[in-house]
């Protein structure tokens, strides 16, 4: 501000004495030039300009920091199976890191697992963190997330039923909602597994099928029974709601005259593959399981999609959604590559000679 002066008294020499703000400046008006006010005015103006420039630079710096600070993405996972989560960490996270989303850097993983009856409450817990996307394993998990967080993008990893019939999508090419992912029609695959098991145990006339719940697994059992009818085999369905039921169920299979057993597609049964394989060996029942890697756990046979490939595709869905793609615009895909594994150690344990035709078709023979 310019210095304002005002006269307050006369000087003995006829001059006038002035005051300027809080500074009293005395000078003679007749014979002496007054003290120049220009330097003080320049000083104030310079200070003001400095403050303005500093403020602009600070605002620009803060704005630039806000623009360059990386966004942290929250990815939720909901599954009834701890085994599927372990596979996700082993296969999905490295692929996501390759695509630019690394846990501990710009990615936070929030996982909820539990029995199917707890999925709705677990989904609500995920919804509270407002994730950018959720990987939901199984149809019940997808439904739970859809109900708890209607606007959150959902990647089905995997959708074990027809997505259109289930109401998850209007079409495979254009889902049109909040759900996309990989669709594996479990009933179709379970039917094919029954035929492979019968080929591996060609003299079998009674084959058991182990599922979890009657109502939930009815489509799978129906498809397997149709395949068994075509093969001239009697199907014996059994159900185990928890792992505590496994010993009595396997004993009941043997008592019913089962000569082999197919483990129906279910995340819970995948998690318990080693336990099921041990019980099957003890009761000398050849087993067919839903993934090739389950043969490593002791199943006689394992047949299913290439799991590593599917998890990479799930990671790709997540990355595209993080980058702004709408799930309804991303086509629901189906598996394209399958793997078939045979465990000869298990075959020896149950007293079975595996036919050469089965060995010739196997991608992996465990000896």
- Please name each of the domains of the chain with its CATH number: 5-68 (no CATH), 73-184+309-329 (3.40.50.2300), 187-305+338-366 (3.40.50.2300)
| 131 phi, psi to nearest 5 deg | -70, 155
Q: CA torsion 323→325→331→337, rounded to 10°?
A: 0
DSSP bridge pairs for 240:
none
- Distance separating alpha carbons of residues 33 and 296, to the nearest angstrom: 104
DSSP 8-state code for residue 172: S
- Provide the terminal-to-terminal Cα distance of the chain, rounded to the nearest Å: 93
For CA atoms 349, 300, 239, 78, the dihedral sign is positive
Q: What is the largest CA-CA distance in the chain?
A: 136
CB of 207 closer than 8 Å to CB of 175: no
Report the pLDDT value the prediction gives residue 55, as an integer from 0 to 100. 54
Question: Is residue 251 pLDDT above 90, yes or no?
Answer: yes
Region 8-21: mean pLDDT is 42
Report the pLDDT value the prediction gives residue 109, as an integer from 0 to 100. 95
Residues in the chain, how many?
367
Nearest to 346 by CA among 270, 290, 258, 279: 279
Cis status, amide bond into 158, omega within 30 of 0: yes
Question: Is residue 24 pLDDT above 50, yes or no?
Answer: no
Question: Is residue 37 pLDDT above 90, yes or no?
Answer: no
- Distance separating alpha carbons of residues 174 and 155, to the nearest angstrom: 14
Report the pLDDT value the prediction gives residue 81, as an integer from 0 to 100. 84
For CA atoms 10, 16, 17, 19, the dihedral sign is positive
Report the pLDDT value the prediction gives residue 39, as an integer from 0 to 100. 54
Angstrom CA distances, 248 to 2, 191, 254, stand at: 98, 25, 10
Which of 70-84, 94-108, 285-299 comes out lowest in average pLDDT?
70-84
Report the pLDDT value the prediction gives residue 58, as an integer from 0 to 100. 52
| 307 phi, psi to nearest 5 deg | -65, -40
pLDDT tens-place string over residues 130-184: 999 999 998 999 999 999 999 999 999 888 889 999 999 999 999 999 999 999 8
Angstrom CA distances, 291 to 66, 168, 216, 299, 305, stand at: 46, 25, 20, 10, 7
Report the pLDDT value the prediction gives residue 115, as an integer from 0 to 100. 87
Specify the 3-state DSSP secondary structure of 109.
strand
Report the pLDDT value the prediction gives residue 193, as an integer from 0 to 100. 97
10 Å CB burial of residue 184 (0-12, 13-18, 19+) is: buried
Percent of the chain past pLDDT 70, that is, above it, reads 81
DSSP bridge pairs for 260:
207
pLDDT tens-place string over residues 296-324: 999 999 999 998 899 999 999 999 999 99
Region 79-95: mean pLDDT is 88
- Distance separating alpha carbons of residues 165 and 211, to the nearest angstrom: 22
**Angle ∠(213,195,272) on CA atoms, nearest 5:** 40
Report the pLDDT value the prediction gives residue 160, as an integer from 0 to 100. 85
pLDDT band for position 46 (cuts 50, 70, 90): low
Question: Is residue 273 pLDDT above 50, yes or no?
Answer: yes
Q: Where are the alpha helices (DSSP H) in the chain?
A: 38-68, 82-87, 93-98, 119-128, 139-148, 186-200, 218-231, 246-255, 267-271, 273-282, 307-322, 344-349, 356-361
Angstrom CA distances, 271 to 132, 217, 262, stand at: 27, 17, 15
pLDDT tens-place string over residues 322-362: 999 999 999 999 999 999 999 999 999 999 999 999 999 99
Task: Provide the token pair at 231.
Answer: 């093969």
Report the pLDDT value the prediction gives residue 68, as an integer from 0 to 100. 62
10 Å CB burial of residue 39 (0-12, 13-18, 19+) is: exposed
Question: Is residue 214 pLDDT above 50, yes or no?
Answer: yes
Question: Is residue 262 pLDDT above 60, yes or no?
Answer: yes
Which of 50-59, 61-70, 227-236, 278-287 comes out lowest in average pLDDT?
50-59
């Amino acid at each position: 501000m310019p210095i304002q002066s005002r006269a307050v008294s006369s000087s003995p020499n006829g001059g006038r004495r002035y005051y300027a703000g809080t500074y009293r400046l005395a000078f003679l008006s007749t014979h002496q030039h007054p003290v120049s006010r220009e330097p003080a005015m320049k000083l104030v103006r310079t200070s003001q300009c400095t403050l303005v420039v500093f403020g602009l630079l600070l605002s620009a710096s803060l704005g630039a920091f806000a623009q360059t600070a990386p966004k942290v993405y929250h990815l939720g996972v909901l599954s009834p199976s701890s085994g599927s989560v372990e596979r996700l960490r082993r296969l999905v996270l490295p692929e996501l890191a390759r695509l630019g989303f690394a846990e501990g850097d710009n990615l936070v993983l929030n996982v909820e697992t539990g029995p199917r009856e707890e999925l709705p409450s677990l989904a609500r817990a995920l919804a509270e963190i407002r994730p950018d996307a959720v990987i939901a394993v199984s149809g019940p998990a997808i439904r739970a997330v859809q109900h708890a967080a209607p606007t959150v993008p959902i990647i089905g990893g995997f959708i074990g039923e027809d997505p259109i019939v289930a109401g998850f999508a209007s079409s495979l090419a254009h889902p049109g909602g909040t759900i996309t992912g990989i669709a594996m029609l479990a009933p179709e695959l379970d039917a094919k597994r029954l035929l492979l098991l019968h080929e591996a145990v060609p003299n079998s006339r009674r084959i058991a099928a182990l599922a979890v719940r009657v109502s939930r697994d009815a489509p799978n059992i129906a498809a397997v029974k149709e395949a068994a009818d075509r093969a001239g085999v009697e199907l014996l369905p059994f159900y185990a709601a928890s792992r505590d039921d496994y010993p009595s169920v396997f004993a009941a299979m043997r008592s019913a005259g089962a000569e082999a057993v197919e483990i129906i597609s279910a995340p819970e049964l995948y998690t318990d593959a080693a336990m099921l394989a041990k019980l099957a060996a003890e009761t000398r029942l050849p087993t067919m399981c839903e993934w090739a890697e389950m043969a490593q756990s002791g199943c006689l046979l394992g047949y299913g999609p290439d799991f590593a490939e599917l998890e990479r595709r799930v990671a790709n869905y997540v990355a595209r959604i993080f980058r702004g793609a709408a799930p309804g615009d991303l086509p629901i895909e189906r598996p394209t590559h399958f793997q078939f594994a045979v465990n000869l150690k298990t075959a020896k344990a149950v007293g079975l000679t595996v036919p050469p035709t089965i060995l010739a078709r196997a991608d992996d023979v465990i000896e």
